[in-house]
A and B are shown apart, each in its own frame.
Chain A
């Protein structure tokens, strides 16, 4: 799989703020990033059963960067991603997508933000069984009532090698194919940020490698911003930067990580 040359979005093409942002630390404010949050707190339950999944997280992810969030189970990495992606509302703190404060938006506006500005990849693919691959890919556009850019669609599906499978339903596709359909769906709207939650978790290693290469390529060639939650050090090594989470807080970060460096860092966290 190779990433198509996308004439897609202005944001993706010219400016490259990555240089300044790659040194971002957890204490910096959230403004100026593709996505970020400040003083994020997320509490589940109450009383004795109370869990602080996020405990005052400040973080920013630069534009055109491939970032990975890692941490042991229960470290809050999925919660962080859900909050950043507008899938969940933090108990307190602020979430920014570009210049938009997601925490200030009512549900309807938040939904439209997800539809138009964010792409999603999930571990279990999450395709709708009643729709064909093509209908699944175009769903966000259809929900928005937008006409699909056929040429762009063709380039994505060619690059993902699923053009021949567009009329099939998810049940007729392999796991790798299903995940590639999901990738096409995430990219078709030209989102500002793609959030990926364990995208390789349910794939065999070859499909997983292909997927990570594709994501890597989309960041490099299209300037796509990707934020990925993973517990796989190999997957994390494809990222420009790894943010480590532990007990609901930032525990460190690694720029230009290798899988060994990530493994070492995780070991130090006791994960």
Chain B
């Protein structure tokens, strides 16, 4: 019997290849997810433990890193401690570790740089020199290679380092001290390893202790030691313990590394798995539909064979075992291939993003046994489960069927009454719960309802999908006989059509839920931004005097997309609040801004008419810290001449800002400068584009202190985040969608084999090859379209339920936003997808010579 199974499988290899491909894709995704998460974790772990493993003994504070071996300890005391450790018997070297930050500027850029101490002892340098030399002089540094490459720093370059100011220096006396500045030369680059989480990171300068001293703003994080050769590590450990405070931890390098890895909780990789694996499960679930279809068709085609086997004495059990053995073989082979592909895919994908050194760097992969076992088992299990129902149907064939002539018409199975009733009941119940949850605002109720309704709809698909297909098929009549033939063929076998389209329905449904969710979040966020930020763009300066360049207002006004703009003049000063505010002068620092009220009305989207002469506009937060209240009359003694104004609450600007009419500002007698430019974008301007244009204009002056605030940049950043998220999630769902498309091609391919005689007849009757291709393409498009349409409808309904329930429960003002254009795009995509899926089956169908195919009885 097993031999017969194998022979059968071999002769039908082409027919099961699509089912195999579906499994391979699903399993590969699961395997890749696991390996990817594992690799992220192991690369992170390697990165974290490398500095510790280099040392024989590490002393670390048990407080958070960066707070020094003993919190609050003076630098001099720390140095003394290092010296005392050095004196311990058996300690060859003791080197304190320091991590600090400073501003750096080099030829091709500028930004924050990390400062690390370069140990004198070679053993403690846990990185490898990849280019140039280690520093020979005090003002030389080595830089981490990846950051250097991405920042355009190479050996020989100079970097100007500007400190943030040392608290140790300041404690000596003066309040405000000029920051330390030093120029260093890059003598070489070091490879510090790579992880995705850290990316290329900021440049890290490994510098000599002497140079670092000027910049040190905090204590040492650790002290690394090398044990002298021949010394007993345990004895040295005890010796060191005797000279460090009780709360300091003394460990061997390995122990310290282990602790680091533990602290970097496994939660990161758990979270990553939790984020990726559901998509793998969806992909495998969808693949299950492809498998069910494949075996249903295969068994139907073998009906006579099975009957013949029964005639010659095979029991039902033998036939079932044969069918299931076949499924197991396919499942195992596909899962092995899928697991291998998934694992290999990680370095190929991980290479460009820095996870591995090369596309074939398998050594860098964090592979646990789970990465092999889980996808393999999942793939085999899904294949096996999906094969159960078709096998159960296969064994029902009576031996007599072998003796009867083949029935020409497809004896399509009728949809079971129980199933239909169950489907209707579950769909109705789930729908009611979802509706109830949405109306009452109970998320849990809506979620349970959605789950029940989903099961109901899945049971309902054998009725639903052919019905919808016939409906949509009416539109296909415009294509003439090919359209009619395509529709007829598509719905001929309702189970086959439904499981084909259902696979796509699931993918598209989830996609539409995501899109709707993203669009809803975007609309809610934008509404929130618009409510809180009445001005599209507000350019201001973080420079010492807060002034913006003179030409800025004219530049902004002339910029494309600016509908109107206003220059605000102002002054920095302080006002007396009568309360202790913790500044040297005892006054609350404020920025007074003055604007022509008419101009403000033009620039602001709302609330512009709040400002009039005799009023001061204040942000609610700032108002409460000033102790003011809305409508109160206050005397503003900010300048030489005090003025009396009425307080009005407004959203115009942030903390520490007071907005006055131009006239009132002048009345204070303060010397004013241009301090901000506010602008309103024209109605047709793309706000995202506008914000980035504005940033460019503001940055071209070389004045990096300028920043752009307001609704436009806020919207732009929200949209960017949501778009990236949607893109990633769409990509993850893409695997399931691709499998569903493979399923369409699979169904079509198997049907084409079955309909060989029919195709031949059509060709004999005068159907051209092009028309035959067209018929198959239309059939595939119909199957894809039905899945996509139903998926879109269900997606919108479920998304509506979810959004309404969240709205009701949390009172968060969200409004359902259906991205109709995106949904339409998804629907439109089913046309090229259908054509694509029909390419291979059509090739087979048109190759047949009419006479040869007709002769196949």
Contacts and interface: CB of A to CB of B under 8 A. Distances in A.
Interface of A: 78-79, 82, 85, 87-89, 107-108, 111-112, 114-116, 120, 122, 124-126, 128-131, 135, 139-140, 142-145, 169-171, 185
Contacts of A107: 768-769
Interface string B752-796: 000001100111111111110000000000000000000000000
Nearest to A186: B765
A129 B481 contact: no
Nearest to A114: B766
Interface residues of B, number: 30
A88 B852 contact: yes
A147 B764 CA distance: 20
A88 B850 contact: yes
Contact of B409 (A79, A108, A142, A171): A171
Contacts of B765: 114-115, 120, 139-140, 143, 185
Given A89-B849, A143-B766, 11 more contacts: A82-B851, A87-B854, A108-B769, A108-B770, A115-B767, A120-B764, A128-B485, A128-B488, A128-B762, A130-B488, A131-B485
B851 A129 contact: no
Interface in B461-480: 480
B273 interface: no
Contacts of B763: 111, 114
19 contacts: A87-B851, A88-B851, A88-B852, A107-B769, A111-B763, A112-B766, A114-B765, A114-B766, A120-B764, A124-B408, A124-B857, A128-B762, A129-B410, A131-B484, A135-B484, A143-B480, A143-B765, A143-B767, A169-B409
Contacts of B492: 129-130
A129 B766 contact: no
A140 B758 CA distance: 14
Contacts of A140: 765-766
For the complex of A and B, 8 pairs with smallest distance between CB atoms: A115-B766, A130-B488, A88-B851, A82-B851, A171-B409, A87-B851, A142-B481, A87-B850
B489 interface: yes
Interface of B: 408-410, 480-481, 484-485, 488-489, 492, 757-758, 761-771, 849-852, 854-855, 857
A85 B408 CA distance: 24
B162 to A, nearest CB: 78
A171 B492 CA distance: 13
Nearest to B767: A143
Given A112-B768, A128-B485, A130-B485, A122 B854 contact: yes
A116 B410 contact: no
A129 B762 contact: no
Contacts of A131: 484-485, 488
Nearest to B408: A129
Contacts of B771: 143
Nearest to A144: B766
A87 B849 contact: yes
A135 B485 CA distance: 10
Given A114-B765, A115-B766, A124-B408, A142 B854 contact: no
Nearest to B409: A171
A129 B409 contact: yes
Contact of A130 (B489, B757, B851): B489
B823 to A, nearest CB: 31
Contacts of B761: 122, 126, 128
Contacts of A169: 409
Contacts of B851: 79, 82, 87-88
A43 to B, nearest CB: 14
Nearest to B406: A124
B770 to A, nearest CB: 8
A51 B648 CA distance: 103
Contacts of A130: 485, 488-489, 492
A120 B760 CA distance: 12
Contacts of B764: 85, 87, 114, 120
A101 B758 CA distance: 27
Contacts of A85: 764
B531 to A, nearest CB: 58
Contacts of A82: 851, 854
A125 B765 CA distance: 13
B767 to A, nearest CB: 6
A122 B485 CA distance: 20
Nearest to A111: B768
A139 B485 CA distance: 10
A23 to B, nearest CB: 30
- Could you say which of B485, B488, B850, B855 has the most chain A C-beta atoms within 10 Å of its C-beta? B850
A170 B409 contact: yes
Contacts of A125: 408
A240 B770 CA distance: 39
B480 A142 contact: yes
- Could you say which of A82, A85, A125, A130 has the most chain B C-beta atoms within 10 Å of its C-beta? A130
B450 to A, nearest CB: 36
Nearest to A83: B851
B172 to A, nearest CB: 95
Nearest to A120: B764
Contacts of B408: 124-125, 129, 170-171
A225 to B, nearest CB: 18
A185 B770 CA distance: 22
A79 B849 CA distance: 13
Contacts of A144: 766
Contacts of B857: 124
A143 B769 CA distance: 12
A126 B480 contact: no
Contacts of B855: 78
A118 to B, nearest CB: 8
Contacts of B849: 87-89
Nearest to A115: B766
B217 to A, nearest CB: 80
A245 to B, nearest CB: 16
A135 B849 CA distance: 24
Contacts of A143: 480-481, 765-767, 771
B768 A145 contact: no
B484 A111 contact: no
A114 B769 CA distance: 13
B484 A126 contact: no
Contacts of A111: 763, 766-769
A212 to B, nearest CB: 22
B481 A139 contact: yes
A41 to B, nearest CB: 16
Nearest to B846: A107
A76 B485 CA distance: 33
A257 B768 CA distance: 39
Contacts of B767: 111, 115, 143
Contacts of B757: 126
Contacts of A116: 766
Nearest to B771: A143
A143 B768 CA distance: 9
A4 B849 CA distance: 34
A167 to B, nearest CB: 14
- Could you say which of B757, B762, B763, B768 has the most chain A C-beta atoms within 10 Å of its C-beta? B768
B758 A128 contact: yes
Nearest to A89: B849
- Could you say which of B408, B410, B766, B767 has the most chain A C-beta atoms within 10 Å of its C-beta? B766
- Could you say which of A89, A143, A171 has the most chain B C-beta atoms within 10 Å of its C-beta? A143
Contacts of B854: 82, 87, 122, 126
Contacts of A145: 480
Nearest to A79: B851
A157 B29 CA distance: 59
